[in-house]
Amino acid sequence: MKFISHQEINPVICGYYIHPMDLEVPKDKELFIKIIKCLFKPGDEMYFIAYGRENKDLDFDLIREQFYEFGDIKEVQLEKVEDLACLCRITYTKERHRLIFALWSFFKSLRFFNPLPDLDWKTFSSYDCNLFESDPEGRKMFAFNFMNFLCIKGSGGESMMINYKKEYTLPDIHQLIGI
């Protein structure tokens, strides 16, 4: 059974919390795709902020190659030599779902969004990754007017949060999920 809560994070930002959201479970994977299709339209840019390896069995080279072929990637070595952080960009198409699943599985922390027109890749990729890691709910990103909504992988990949500007009309997540 799905648990969904809606909350006000601050006077400008609200958010949905969806639990469980385990992409190893077929129904959750199907729901995740419905949410992505509802939030992103073909041709939309998707920016990703990814931190820390969670799944050591996945080959990051395959993920990297996908970004080289279909988008952009900026990798940052973290203090732990074996850890990694990335800022990535792709154009959304339904063919990119597998890449999104791979990112979700590979990284401990994953956030993604459709940038507003004033945020281009050159500007976004110039930011220090620590700016984003120290801002788990995206408050600074909303303050900088990067996006209207932000999708966040919850701890351990078992939940998903969708934070958004109050003034933005987000699709009705309860209706989408069927609750």
How is 73-84 classified by DSSP, letter by letter?
Answer: EEEEE-SSTT-E
**pTM for this model (two decimals):** 0.93
Domain count, the chain: 1
Residue span of the structural domain in which 74 resides: 3-177
pLDDT tens digits, residue range 79-115? 765 678 899 999 999 999 999 999 999 999 999 999 9
